């Protein structure tokens, strides 16, 4: 059976500077989007989902490289469409938008598939294989705003092993594990008024 590092182990290995920076850049990009929306509301309204996601990604990358450029343990790889952050030659991160259940999208290229596949923890430790992580944020599509900062670990693009919400500078709280993020929320049924009473039940 394949073993994987747990979220606490990964967060401790990355260290406070990296973890806090991953949360901070989401806050900064959210502020950028708010400024963009207030200054050019029509531009944001007319933007496609892909175009807006690319715009947010550029802002995240700009803030991340600025915040961590003086770190001796961090390397940045900017190779056309592929942007990655290497930490201590052990952790390789890509920046992506997550949906409410932790899903991410990617073109199914050989390179992308190889990135999402993880070797077992034993092989990683023996052979020095990288641990691949996805940092970024949860997107709230109804209002088209940037939600909480998150870090996720998966074994294959569709197999989410764990996801945690990361602290942002205004929060000052530790990373919070998200329980079963891959399980869709249960449907709700609105009950009609009966004798002046109404309610909602969870299926």
| pLDDT at residue number 186 | 43
Backbone phi, then psi, for 150, in 5-degree steps? -140, 160
Strand partners, 127: none
Backbone phi, then psi, for 169, in 5-degree steps? -55, -35
Q: What is the pLDDT of residues 72-109, one digit of tens each?
A: 999 999 987 889 999 998 999 999 999 999 999 888 78
| pLDDT at residue number 58 | 96
Phi-psi region of 144 (alpha: psi -120 to 50; beta: other; left: phi over 0): left
Euclidean distance between CA atoms 20 and 164, whole angstroms: 13
| pLDDT at residue number 3 | 78
């Amino acid at each position: 059976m394949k073993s994987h590092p747990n979220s606490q182990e990964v967060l401790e290995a990355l260290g406070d500077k990296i973890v806090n920076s991953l949360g901070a850049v989401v806050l900064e990009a959210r502020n950028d989007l708010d400024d963009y929306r207030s200054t050019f509301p029509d531009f944001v309204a007319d933007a496609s989902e892909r175009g807006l996601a690319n715009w947010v990604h550029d802002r995240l990358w700009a803030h991340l490289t600025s915040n961590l450029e003086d770190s001796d343990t961090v390397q940045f790889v900017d190779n056309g469409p592929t942007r990655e952050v290497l930490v201590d030659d052990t952790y390789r991160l890509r920046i992506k938008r997550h949906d409410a259940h932790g899903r991410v999208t990617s073109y199914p290229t050989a390179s992308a598939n190889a990135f999402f596949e993880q070797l077992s923890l034993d092989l990683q430790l023996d052979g020095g294989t990288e641990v691949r992580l996805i940092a970024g944020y949860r997107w709230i599509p109804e209002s088209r705003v940037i939600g909480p900062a998150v870090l996720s670990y998966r074994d294959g693009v569709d197999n989410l092993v764990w996801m945690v919400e990361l602290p942002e500078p205004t929060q000052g709280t530790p990373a919070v594990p998200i329980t079963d993020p891959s399980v869709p929320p249960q449907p709700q049924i609105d009950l009609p008024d009966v004798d002046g009473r109404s309610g909602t039940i969870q299926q």
